[in-house]
Amino acid sequence: MYRNRTIEIAIKEAAESFPCIVIYGSRQVGKSTTVNHLFGKKYRKVTLDDGEKRALAKSSPRLFLETLGWPLIIDEIQKAPELLDEIKIIVDKKRLEWTENDEKQELMFILTGSNRFELQQGISDSLAGRCGVIEMASFSQVEKYDLTGHPFDPDINVLLKREREGAAHYISRSGIFHDIFVGGMPDIVLNKSKREIYFKSYIDTYIEKDVKKLIAEDSETTFRNFISLVALRTSSELHYDHLSGAVGIDVRTCRRWISILETAGIIYLLQPYMPNTSSRIIKAPKLYFMDTGLCAYLCKWPTSEMLENGVMCGAFFETYVVSELIKNFHAYNMDPKEYLYYYRDKDKKEIDLLYIKSGEVYPIEIKKSIMPGTKAARSFQVLKKYKMKIRPGLVIDSCEEIMPVNESAYYYPVFRIDRRESPKH
């Protein structure tokens, strides 16, 4: 059974605005399934996983496209970037015809890809201004439970209004850690695959198809160890020298491998907020896995109960919240890098998240406990020195309802992120 995705609206809007759309995302997050659901009845589809079709696309891209025509869905486009220049020529010719004949623009090509590392330069060079780009992640909690959601808004007045309007089923901290342990990969959520078997195959496939050609031939085992060590550092500051030393690689290789994971959508790097160039601000990004289930698998946590009570429980709870917010941004085709930051200075004053909107700052702390006390929001005061408008902040935790911490902060239930409501069906 098809599970509706929040991002469908953004895809449809891009389809009405551009002759070509590109949908990125890590492997097996549902790109092809969603595209087939939305366009499969009208559009012809070809996948470049097919060796013969891939060979033709690479050797004779013009013949390939002339043979298939359009409208056309091309899956795994990064495997034949040679097609991009030919698509540009076809799109430009057709746009000129539409303009001359005063005709409405149509969607000609839908391209999906699981490796932005290989594709991004080609898209920038060939299709800039001609295509809409959508980034897709694994299931958010709203999608896992087939519920109604909205763009997350940190304004407490908006959040209180939504709480009054929509009933939301409470999920306990143990329930949240079960969701963390399972993750959001569609095949696991929809019970198509067993978790352990799935993630083993996922890592093997990812390295075999996406990574091998990007690293040295003798580095596969080292890269596997690298991914596991990165997982153990989720929600931590990324220091390349420390990580490279632990893995046994040089810093340059470490930076490249982190870039491979980031552009593949496996991890997300949250940047520090630097309103000025103060030397007192920590400048290292924080690293988060985008799928907590994959992260838990790599860290070898055997059950959700052991994860909840283990030494990494706080790191996973924080990773869960941050990844849910990032998925929410992607679902509504918004760039999280324009809104989300973290704060830490050399005086060890730290705030987990800063949500910057319209020149205003919404500080957010993330705590796995229930209503952890006023100390949880103490660091919010450090922002006053920047003379920006500081709005009431949030302490996202395992509480049941929104409650004030003090006049400048509120407890906010983690299960209400992006407004969880009654099922759609």
How confident is the model over 41-79, as pLDDT tens digits?
Answer: 999 999 999 999 999 999 999 999 999 999 999 999 988
* Residues facing 355 on adjacent strands: 340, 362
pLDDT value for 206: 87
pLDDT value for 423: 53
How confident is the model over 12-46, as pLDDT tens digits?
Answer: 999 999 999 999 888 899 999 999 999 989 999 99
CA angle 154, 348, 374 (to 5 degrees): 50
How confident is the model over 83-96, as pLDDT tens digits?
Answer: 999 999 999 999 99
**Nearest-angstrom CA–CA distance, 150 and 138:** 17
pLDDT at 299 over 80: yes
pLDDT at 149 over 90: no
pLDDT value for 358: 87
SS3 (DSSP) at 141: helix
Mean pLDDT in residue range 117-146: 81
Average pLDDT of the chain, as a whole number: 90
pLDDT value for 420: 60
The least confident of 118-122, 296-300, 372-376 is 118-122
**Nearest-angstrom CA–CA distance, 213 and 190:** 32
pLDDT at 223 over 90: yes
pLDDT value for 345: 85
The least confident of 150-164, 216-230, 372-386, 395-409 is 372-386
pLDDT value for 188: 96
Mean pLDDT in residue range 299-316: 97
- 236's enclosing H/E stretch is strand 236-237
pLDDT at 424 over 60: no
pLDDT value for 107: 95
The token duo for 104 is: 């409405």
**Nearest-angstrom CA–CA distance, 12 and 4:** 13
pLDDT at 148 over 70: yes
**CA R_g for the chain:** 22
pLDDT value for 12: 95
Q: Which long-range contacts (CB under 8 A, 24 or more apart) does 128-132 make?
A: 130/18, 130/19, 130/20, 130/88, 130/91, 130/92, 130/95, 131/18, 131/19, 131/20, 131/21, 131/22, 132/14, 132/15, 132/17, 132/18, 132/20, 132/21, 132/22
**Nearest-angstrom CA–CA distance, 210 and 117:** 9
Conformation bin of residue 420: beta by default, left when phi > 0, alpha when psi is -120 to 50: beta
Under a CB-based contact definition with an 8 Å cutoff, are residues 306 and 323 in contact?
Answer: no
How confident is the model over 380-405, as pLDDT tens digits?
Answer: 888 887 778 999 999 999 998 999 99
pLDDT value for 347: 81
The token duo for 413 is: 């239930």
**Nearest-angstrom CA–CA distance, 415 and 173:** 9
- Report percent pLDDT > 90 for the chain: 70
**Nearest-angstrom CA–CA distance, 326 and 339:** 10
The token duo for 425 is: 């069906």
pLDDT at 183 over 90: yes
Question: 157-171, 236-250, 340-354 — which one is most confidently predicted on average?
Answer: 236-250
Residues whose CB falls within 8 Å of the CB of residue 380, separated by 6 or more in sequence, listed in order: 351, 363, 365, 390, 393, 408, 409
pLDDT value for 336: 96
How confident is the model over 255-293, as pLDDT tens digits?
Answer: 999 999 998 899 999 999 977 655 566 789 999 999 999
Work out whether the CA dihedral 388, 280, 367, 25 comes out positive or negative.
positive
pLDDT at 109 over 90: yes
Q: Look at the block and give the residue holding tokens 């319209």.
A: 358
